[in-house]
Structure 1
């Protein structure tokens, strides 16, 4: 009688492990992904510090163009105010600027973005590959989205900031909902003026604001 094959069991924590692995790969951008992945999972198994490093604001991959806030600003302008875009269309626009396709794919995976992409979510994750921390990511995103400046400080509607911050904190997984709500409530009640706009200086230079 043939031996029954043993059914494979997928650990329930696997999706979260893969999500954190992908985020770490985006932050580190290793030159040798296979070698780095081996070190990553070995360290994870042994409970040792993971081989993750912060990178400078620019990203260079292979012979691809360098990802910069300016590239993302150009993409945002080309979208002309559209809130959503098909994945294939955005990928074509991304590659037309010579940007790395691997990074595009990683952004989609980290955000679990569907075929119909919410542009602000994609932009937030693309900015996170430049800013690393949530605060720096929001600074870059605000400067890209801002259509006006006050005393040299970029400004966006607080509702947009709220959406970006909530989304980034959720993807990060290390910032509690309580912390997010506390910061948003403080900003809305104590910082935001009657124009409903938030400036970079409101959350980057305010000692009472801790977004991480």
Structure 2
């Protein structure tokens, strides 16, 4: 019994850090407000942000009902991301991925946003306002509502205020979204739209052609010219051994004949080599070439053609919050209106300016065709059980 009593713990024996209850209370409140999909992953990112003195991935309040995308992006997440990354005009993709994973959001949705920004697998950073504008378009149904949402996400005023933002930031995002075409589903191959070849491929093809020419030039080997004492370049390979033997043999025999023709003794000029002597010279020459073939014609390793890698396919679905390309006249009219309004608002734009009845449209209105959705007229059945159309029944 005395041993058991000595091992018992009491409140005096357990030392609790004084800040532990405060940290645990803040953590519980943040988890309740954020409602993360993966609590373990979010907890890691939460405490990591606190250790690095960064704003943690915590929503300002509980969202209900939650307006989110398939990847989990919500209006509250967008507002927190905007305040976390606002200090950077160009966001490195590594920093953006870290902030994105802090909310346990889907990576595929981030890839779609970067594809629409035309930076995926091309550049290592993305402009802040371009990313925020495209991400905001994922959460709305039209371009007008997207611009209102961006004002609410970027403003530093408390909830319920005027949600004013600088006019230059507003116009930067509007002009970027207005010229973008996201009205239909598009397939991206390695970050490029399907059917649009990347401009870098042309340079790569030219570089590969130049590399091939350099290899061909390097494959040229020097063959001694017995007549002129110079070198002549010929393209050789392991399959041209017979050609080399015949060429060198001919040059040697021509050289011997020329030397005989120079001799002063006319009797020697008439002498010809016997067949057995020619055969002996040929055997010696072939033996010499076989022994020194590695020097005369070095082997060229055949490089197998590398298979083209399978491109990374990203399917980007239509984004109603961005829509199709806006006409230049509509853009000019709206920009002129906003510039006039911001003169009396200290250079800021507010959502109420967009909702005002004098505000020109931000996008082209397409009237829906309700007739296409009308069901076809049903056939009426007569008393004699013969089907008749409505016209015949009348």
**Same fold per TM (> 0.5)?**
yes
CA distance in 1, matches of 2:159, 2:103: 30
Report the Cα distance in structure 2 between the residues aligned to 1:183 and 1:152, rounded to whole angstroms: 23
Query: Counterpart of 1:186?
Result: 337
Question: Could you tell me which residue of structure 2 aligns to residue 85 of structure 1?
Answer: 91
1:75 equivalent to 2:81? Answer: yes
2:140 to 128, 131, 148: 131
- Quick one: distance in 2 between partners of 1:89 and 1:153? 31
Where do 1:2-41 residues align within 5 Å? none
Aligned residues: 154
Query: Is the counterpart of residue 158 in structure 1 residue 129 in structure 2?
Result: no
Length-normalised TM-score, structure 1: 0.65
For residue 129 of structure 1, report the CA deviation from its aligned partner: 0.3
Cα distance, 1:142 vs structure 2: 0.6
Q: Partner of 2:138: helix, strand, or coil? A: helix
1:60: Cα distance to partner? 4.6
Decide whether aligned partners of structure 1 residues 122 and 76 sit closer, same or farther in structure 2, where only a CA change above 3 A counts: same
Equivalent of 2:100 in 94, 97, 107: 94
Matched residues in 1 for 2:93 and 2:159: separation? 35
Unaligned runs of 5+ in 1: 1-55
Q: Which residue of 2 aligns with 1:170?
A: 179
1:167-202 CA-partner distances (Å, limit 9, x unpaired): 010113420122111111022124642501111010
Task: Give the conservation status (yes or no) of the 8 Å contact 1:57–1:130.
Answer: no
The answer for the alignment partner of 2:360 in structure 1 is: 209
Q: For 1:77, what is the secondary structure of its paired residue?
A: helix
Residue 117 (structure 2) aligns with:
111
The verdict on how the C-alpha distance between 1:101 and 1:183 changes in structure 2, with shifts beyond 3 A counting, is same
Shift of 1:59: 2.7
Q: Are the structure 2 counterparts of residues 174 and 151 from structure 1 closer, same or farther at C-alpha, using a change threshold of 3 Å?
A: same
Q: Deviations over 1:58-109 (max 9, x none)?
A: 2353xx6x31111111112222521111112201210121111111000111
Report the TM-score when normalising by structure 2.
0.36
Question: In the alignment, what sits opposite 1:16?
Answer: none
- Return the alpha-carbon distance in structure 1 between the equivalents of residues 149 and 66 of structure 2: 10
Answer 1 or 2: higher relative contact order, Cα 8 Å, separation at least 6. Answer: 2
Please give the alpha-carbon distance, in whole angstroms, between the structure 1 residues aligned to 2:168 and 2:88: 17
* 1:58 counterpart SS class: coil
1:59 corresponds to 2:74: no
Q: Secondary structure at the match of 1:209?
A: coil
Residues 33-68 of structure 1, C-alpha deviation per residue, up to 9 Å, x if partnerless?
Answer: xxxxxxxxxxxxxxxxxxxxxxx982353xx6x311
Higher mean C-alpha deviation, range 105-114 or range 151-160: 151-160
1:43 is aligned to none
When residues 150 and 74 of structure 1 are mapped into structure 2, their CA distance, relative to the original with a 3 A threshold, is: closer
Q: Please, what is the CA RMSD of the aligned residues?
A: 2.3
The 8 Å contact of residues 192 and 198 in structure 1, kept in 2 or not, is answered as no
